[in-house]
A and B are shown apart, each in its own frame.
Chain A
Amino acid sequence: MGVRKSEMLMLYLALNLLACTVLLFHAFISSESGSGRIREERAFVRSLGLTDICLFTEASYTRNPAVADRHTSFQDSPMCFDHFPSGALVALPPHLNRHALD
C-alpha cells in the first residue's frame, strides 16, 4: 500500500515543526553562550564610557543617536532633509522630541 498524500503532508509539516523546535533550542543555547560575549561588551562599554552601539558609521547623528544634536540631520544641505541612507532607518530618539530638554 502506497503512502497517502495526506501522510506526506503531515510528515512535511512535522519536519517543519521539528526544525522550528530545533531553532528554539538553538536560540536558548545561544542566549546562554551569547551572555559571555555580552558581558565582555558591557565591560568594554563601561571602561570606555560609551553611549552607543557602532552600527551606522556614516553620519554623526546615526553613529551616536543617544547624544545627537536635534538639528544635525537638517544641516547637511538646503532641501536635503536627510543626506545619509541610515538617516531613514534611525528614528528620532524619544528624548529629542521633548522641547523641555533644550
Chain B
Amino acid sequence: MPWIEKQRYIIDFALSSLMRRWKKNIALVAVYTLVVFVLASVVFFTGAIRKEAKAVLEACPDIIVQRTLAGRQDLIPSGYRDTLGRITGVSAVRGRLWAYYFDPSVGANYTIVVTDRPLPKQGVVSIGQGVSRAIHAGRGDTISLKGHDGSYLSFEVGALFPGSCEFVSADLIEMSEKDFRDLFGIPEDRYTDMALSVRNARERVVVSDKIRRVLPDTRPVIKEEILRTYDAVFSWRSGLLLVIFTGAILAFLIFSWDKATGLSIQERREIGILKAVGWETVDIISLRSWEGVIISLSSFLAGILLAYVHVFFASSTIFEPVLKGWAVIYPEFSLTPVIDPYHISALFFLTVIPYTVATIIPSWLAATLDPDSVMRL
C-alpha cells in the first residue's frame, strides 16, 4: 500500500535524523525512561501493596474497641467485655493485649502481642524474622527485655514466625498473657483494646453506633475502616508518593515545555531544506510525529518494563530507604504483581501523548513558514 510504504520511508528518514543527533537523543530517552520508570514504579508498588493489604487484612477482627481517656487512648477495663457482649449482633468479645517495646541496644521497635494460641510454657516467645535479624537470635536463644520496674526478664525463643508471613509479622514478639502483664505491669483487669466478632457483616456499622452510645468513652473501629485505611495510606494521591508523583510530572512538563517552545536552528534549517526539495507540510508534521512517537514509545515501554522488574523482581530496592526511614526492622517480602490497565493507560496518556504533541506544534509552525526565510536563519 502506498501510504504504508510512504510512512516507512518517513520512519527511515526520522531514524536517520535522530541518529544524526544521537548524543542528545540518547540523553532524552534516558531522562524520559527514568521519569516513566519512577512513575510506573510508584503505581505498581502502591497498587500491589494495597491489594495485598486488603487481601491479608480481610481476616482482621470485625470491630476493635479502644478506650479514650482525656483525649488519648487508654487501657480498657475487662468489665467492658460483658457490656460489649450484651450488644445485639455481637457473637464474641476478646480482650487484646499488645504493646510497643523499644529496644535501645539495637534501636528497634517491637510489637509484643498476646494471643490465644498455646505457647509451650511461660517464658517462651515466638519472634518475627525481622526481630531475629535485628538481634541475631534464633530458636533456642535467650532474649532479655527490660520490664516496667527496670528489671530484665529473660525469654527463650521457642519459634520464629514463617518468612512467608513477614509482611504482617516482621516485628512481632508473641508471649503468654502472664509474661506480658509482668513485663509491662498491666493489671489483670485491663486490656489494650477489645476485638469483637459480629454475626452479620452488614450490622457492623449499627453495632459500632450502639457501642458509642452504650460506652461513650470508647472508640470503635470497624473492619471496613481498617481496610479503607490501607486504601488511603497507599493511594498514589496521598503522602510522599504524591510528592514523588508530582515531582516526576513537573520534571516531565518542563521537559515537554522545553521541547514545545522551539526548535534548534539546525532543526529549522532541516525543515526549510525539506520544504525546498518538495516535502509537503503534512509530510514534515508526519516526520516530526514519528520522531516523537519513536522516542516516547521506546522510553515508555522501557520505563514500564524496568519498573516492573524493580518492584516485582528486585523488591522495590530504590524505595526501600524511603520506606524504611529510621526503622531498624523492615520486612523482606515480595509483592504479588498487579497490573491495572487503567493505571497503565493513565501513564501512557500522561507521558506519550503530551510529548508527541509537544514535538508536532513547533514543527508545524516552522513548516508553514517560507523555506527561504527558514534556511536563512
A94 to B60, CA, bound (A): 18
How many residues on B have C-beta within 8 angstroms of the other chain's C-beta atoms? 87
Contact B165 A41 (CB under 8 A): yes
Q: Indicate whether A47 reaches chain B with its CB closer than 8 angstroms.
A: yes
Residues of A within 8 A of B59 (CB): 42-43, 45-46
A65 to B9, CA, bound (A): 59
Q: Indicate whether B310 reaches chain A with its CB closer than 8 angstroms.
A: no
Contact A23 B308 (CB under 8 A): yes
Partner of A89, one of B71, B226, B322: B322
Residues of B within 8 A of A71 (CB): 71-72
Residues of A within 8 A of B11 (CB): 5-6, 9
Within 8 A of B (CB), among A1-54: 4-6, 8-9, 12-13, 16-17, 19-20, 23-24, 26-27, 30-31, 34-35, 37-38, 40-54
Residues of A within 8 A of B66 (CB): 67
Contact B60 A27 (CB under 8 A): no
Q: Indicate whether B55 reaches chain A with its CB closer than 8 angstroms.
A: yes
Contact B12 A58 (CB under 8 A): no
Chain B nearest CB, measured from A15 CB (Å)? 9
Residues of B within 8 A of A47 (CB): 115-117
Interface of A is mostly: helix
A12 to B329, CA, bound (A): 43
Within 8 A of A (CB), among B115-136: 115-117, 128, 130
Chain A nearest CB, measured from B26 CB (Å)? 14
A2 to B254, CA, bound (A): 40
A44: nearest chain-B partner, CB-CB: B165
Residue among B220, B230, B233, B312 with max Cβ neighbours from chain A (10 Å): B233
Residues of A within 8 A of B165 (CB): 40-41, 44
Q: Indicate whether B87 reaches chain A with its CB closer than 8 angstroms.
A: no
Q: Indicate whether A69 reaches chain B with its CB closer than 8 angstroms.
A: yes
**Given A6-B15, A91-B232, A93-B233, A37 contacting B164 (CB threshold 8 A):** yes
Within 8 A of A (CB), among B42-94: 49, 52-53, 55-61, 64, 66, 68, 71-73, 94
Sampled A-B contacts (14; CB under 8 Å): A5-B12, A6-B9, A26-B337, A27-B338, A35-B336, A45-B168, A50-B113, A51-B221, A53-B56, A54-B128, A54-B172, A54-B329, A60-B100, A84-B325
For the complex of A and B, 7 pairs with smallest distance between CB atoms: A34-B336, A85-B325, A91-B238, A58-B327, A27-B337, A46-B59, A93-B229
Question: Residues on B close to A: CB < 8 A?
Answer: 8-9, 11-12, 15-16, 49, 52-53, 55-61, 64, 66, 68, 71-73, 94, 96, 100, 108-109, 111, 113, 115-117, 128, 130, 161-162, 164-172, 174, 193, 195, 212, 219-221, 225-226, 228-230, 232-233, 235, 238-241, 243, 294, 297-298, 301-302, 304-305, 308, 312, 322-323, 325-331, 336-339
